Amino acid sequence: MAMDFRDLTMISRRSLLKAGAVGGATALAPGFIGSAFAQDRAKTLVIAAPATPLSLDVENSLSLGTIDTVAAFYDYLIEFNKVPDPKVPGVMREDLAPNAALPGGYNLKGKLAESWEFAPDGKSVRFVLRKGVVSNWGNPLTAKDVKYTFDRKFEVKGAGAFMTFVMGLPNKDAVVVEDEHVVSFHLENPNPILMIVCGHLANPIFDSVKCQEMATADDPWARKFLDTNVAGFGPYNLKTIVRGQQMVATARPDYYDEKPFFETVVFREVPASATRLQLLNGGAVDIAQALAPTEMKSLSASPKAEVTSIEASQMLWIELNTAFKPLDNPKVRQALNFAMPKDEIVKTILQGFGKKQTAFMPDFYPGATSEFYGYDFDIDKAKALLAEAGFADGFATTLAYNAGDPIEEPIAIMYQTALRKIGVTIELKKLPAGTFFDSLVKRTEPMIFNLDAPFTPDPGFSLNLYFHSASFLDFSNYKNEKADTLIKQSLSTLDEKARMSATKDAQKIINDDAPWALIANPGFHLAHGKDVGGIVYYTSNRLNFQDYKRV
């Protein structure tokens, strides 16, 4: 499989998270959202974001802005059904519980696919598409749109290259148009996560007619057009986008499914988090993204705004690059875990927004376990492990962090202080955002922060993404042949018991090898006006404009 997705230099959901610490403030003018929108403020959702989307094409970017906007313009073959969040009243979330009795193994809901059926051997699935669906350009949905979408993934080799790999699609011929509204996927081996990956944020279905109309000899897959335009079957249409200023979306009256409450969405770039907070408190915006923990804490006293905190898939950790000595020694990596003051970080730096990390994947995902975790803060244990590894006097190394993330520097300083107690000296390396992500992807630093989430809620997918030695996201250069074998087994059998056994064994190996220094599960925290409801949490940690409503 081609790994061009890696060349996106990880301008990913990480790159703009909490980027609000950078940049100047936006003036708080009365006309912040424009007079046309202010005339019907009740039906207009205004979002203050760190930046406008880098691209509207998921093959080009998975930036924070792209993640938050793509699902407004595009629909997917399927999605998870929703259930009430057991911990947060009034909030819904995806039903992630596996159910072998259901086609695809999960509680799924058809979107563009009306129904689906697997072959008895599990090597093919046949989708019947919904009739009467049209794109934002008025073109009817057909099986050719699905075929085009996956052909494009193989040709463009962006995010889709990884998607087709984990879905088990060997080549373009694996997606077959059987009828105007029937399309089938053909696999070389059974794939237990094929269906849920169809609902991954990076797998929207494109309007092939419009895309082919906009293609050129130099750009046969309409990448330039889709960078700043949309061609999909979602609930919103793009009205305008001016990068560095704002994007405006309008609800489609011809959308086939439930119509959104908000007729207009204004996604406004406000680089400074303090300004985003001020706009929210003043009622000028409905949602303020990426606030610092202290800013979120301040909203407890706000008469107009609040924070809804939800257990989420995001994880914060430090990559321990095994290509650098002495980080190639598992006892050293274990020692570095015992020296991480996780509880203190959550309490003081994260201000209680989140919890300590005790697993190497989101701990609420099916099959995730903290059973093998034992890395609570213990300086004596850390010293003993270093002595066993032959480093009783410690060693020196470097820890890189993102200058654009306001929480990484204080965590780095706290960790640096703790490591001194075990004789380890770390030089802190403050990197600008662009340089930081380039260093992360190229694996040039011995220790470097990472903030990420596996969007597909499956243990095999999660472990494959970060810990298989062939993965483009194995930034710690971790390699364990037994773990590789177990991960591969978990993705090539439909026997759920065998899958869970394989991923559990893999988690024990990874926990003992400790390729990450665990820190925290920061959670998903939505800072919003008190009159905004309809909150639904997705494992992609995205906003979903069509869910929100006035309450």
Tens digits of per-residue pLDDT, 393-442? 999 999 999 988 889 999 999 999 999 999 999 999 999 877 888 899 89
If 0-12 CB within 10 Å is exposed, 13-18 middle and 19+ buried, where does residue 416 land?
middle
**What pLDDT is stored for residue 465 in this prediction?**
93
**What pLDDT is stored for residue 10 in this prediction?**
36
- Helix, strand, coil shares of the chain, percent, nearest 5, are 30, 20, 45
**What pLDDT is stored for residue 433 in this prediction?**
77
Q: Would you place residue 98 in the very low, low, confident or very high pLDDT band (cuts 50, 70, 90)? A: confident
Whether 124 contacts 118, CB under 8 Å: yes
CA distance 470 to 478: 10
231-270 core/surface letters (b: 16 or more CB in 10 A; e: else): bbbbbbbbeebeeeebbbbbbbeebbeeebbbbbbbbbbb
**β-sheet bridge partners, residue 529:** 305
CA distance 511 to 522: 20
pLDDT at 112 over 60: yes
Whether 475 contacts 447, CB under 8 Å: no
Mean pLDDT within 490-496: 89
Q: Would you place residue 487 in the very low, low, confident or very high pLDDT band (cuts 50, 70, 90)? A: very high
Whether 534 contacts 549, CB under 8 Å: yes
**What pLDDT is stored for residue 107 in this prediction?**
93
CA distance 16 to 243: 15
Name every residue whose Cβ is closer than 8 Å to that of residue 64 and which is 6 or more positions away in sequence. 13, 15, 16, 17, 19, 49, 50, 51, 289, 290
If 0-12 CB within 10 Å is exposed, 13-18 middle and 19+ buried, where does residue 24 land?
exposed
Percent of the chain with pLDDT over 70: 93
CA distance 82 to 535: 11
CA distance 512 to 76: 38
**What pLDDT is stored for residue 4 in this prediction?**
33
CA distance 368 to 469: 20
CA distance 19 to 16: 5
pLDDT at 28 over 90: no
Taking each helix axis from N to C end, the angle separating 459-467 and 496-513, rounded to the nearest 10 degrees, works out to: 30
Which tokens is 276 given?
């985003």
Which candidate, 225, 75, 93, 221, places its Cα nearest to that of 152?
A: 221
| Angle at 473 (CA atoms; ends 472, 474), nearest 5 degrees | 95
R_g of the chain, CA atoms, integer Å: 23
**What pLDDT is stored for residue 34 in this prediction?**
59
pLDDT at 159 over 80: no
CA distance 426 to 412: 9
What distances in angstroms separate CA 341 from CA 311, 323, 445, 520, one per listed residue?
A: 21, 25, 22, 10
Q: What is the DSSP string of 48-88?
A: EESS--S-S-TTT---HHHHHHHHHH---SEEE-EEE-SSS
CA distance 361 to 368: 7
Which candidate, 395, 375, 376, places its Cα nearest to that of 329?
A: 395
Name the more confident of 20 and 242. 242
Whether 46 contacts 248, CB under 8 Å: no
pLDDT at 307 over 90: yes
**What pLDDT is stored for residue 403 in this prediction?**
87
**What pLDDT is stored for residue 39 in this prediction?**
60
**What pLDDT is stored for residue 51 in this prediction?**
87
The alpha carbon of residue 88 and the mean position of all alpha carbons in its chain are separated, in whole angstroms, by: 21
CA distance 332 to 19: 32
Percent of the chain with pLDDT over 90: 80
